[in-house]
Amino acid sequence: MEVILRPTREAAEALAARLIAEQVRAKPDSVLGLATGGTMERVYAELVRLHVEEELDFSLVRTFNLDEYVGLPGDHVCSYRYYMDQHLFRGINIDSRNTHLPNGVAEDLAAECRAYEEAITRCGGIDLQLLGIGKSGHIGFNEPLSALRSRTREKALSPVTMAQNAGYFSQYGPMPQRGLTMGVGTILDARDILLLVTGEAKADVLARAVEGPVTSMISASALQLHAHCRVIVDEAAATQLSEQEYYRWIFDHEPEWEPYR
């Protein structure tokens, strides 16, 4: 892992957007793995700005999102399809046929999950996967005890995740208790990974994911097994990391990573 400490949330978000833009410029038909959540809203706003003001071209890009709620159709305001359309897809020149999320209202959810894995494979695999982390330590909806080799599947949401996301459903409830999610193994197959973590509410779980042991209790800790995982954090999220000085030092000494072409 390479931990990249930025002074502010805005700087961390801007860096994440810049690295995604670099990937798209290096390989215009990139396959991007995308995430939802509050953390990503301004990253997507910045990508929309780069599209409008700097002609960042998404016409050939393909995307696969991490997860979706079971039981929510794509036009439900709390669905992740709706989130992606609002925050990113309708603001850029992406072909909607190239945007993929698991279908949470599929008749046969197990078949939907298998088809999702096959679609990723048919596209040649994910070049760059963007991730946030939940307070449960999840990436996607890979809640505690998710197998480190798991693939896309239906998953019950943990009480921590139910509490974390309940606010979004206050006027639109009830909140689904299950999701479809890429597995930890699916995520680890991406060629490059960007984990973006901001705010002091994530400081404890971030330290456990980055500096703690690899454990299925914190599925983000599995990213320690990945060969190209960059962890972009702001100072507020970094407060519980014991090796902050080292991360600052190594950032100035490591060579820059090239986007996958």
Number of amino acids touching ligand PGA (CB under 6 A): 7
Among 28, 38, 73, 124, binds ligand PGA (CB under 6 A): 38
Asked if 37 touches ligand PGA (CB under 6 A), the answer is: yes
Could you tell me which of 128, 130, 129, 131 has the C-alpha nearest to residue 206?
131
Span from 77-85, 100-108, 127-135, 170-178 in contact with ligand PGA (CB under 6 A): 127-135
The distance of closest approach from Cβ of residue 53 to ligand PGA in the complex, given in angstroms and rounded to an integer, is 25
Q: Which residue is nearest to ligand PGA (CB)?
A: 37
Q: Which amino acid is at 44?
A: Y
Nearer CB in complex with ligand PGA: 37/144: 37
Among 23, 30, 39, 152, binds ligand PGA (CB under 6 A): 39
CA distances 173 to 1, 63, 76, 103, 176, Å, are 38, 28, 11, 19, 8
Q: Which residue carries 């689904």 as its tokens?
A: 176
Going by C-beta distance under 8 Å and a sequence separation of 6 or more, which residues neighbour residue 167? none
Among 33, 104, 134, 176, binds ligand PGA (CB under 6 A): 134
DSSP sequence for 104-119: TT-SSHHHHHHHHHHH
Span from 35-43, 46-54, 72-80, 152-160 in contact with ligand PGA (CB under 6 A): 35-43
Among 132, 137, 176, 179, binds ligand PGA (CB under 6 A): 132
- Residue 95 corresponds to which tokens in the numbers above? 């072909």
Sign of CA dihedral 212, 215, 216, 220: positive
DSSP sequence for 168-209: GGTTT-PPPSEEEE--HHHHHTSSEEEEEE-SGGGHHHHHHH
Asked if 183 touches ligand PGA (CB under 6 A), the answer is: no
Span from 34-42, 90-98, 228-236, 246-254 in contact with ligand PGA (CB under 6 A): 34-42
The distance of closest approach from Cβ of residue 61 to ligand PGA in the complex, given in angstroms and rounded to an integer, is 22
Interface ranges with ligand PGA (CB under 6 A):
37-39, 132-134, 138
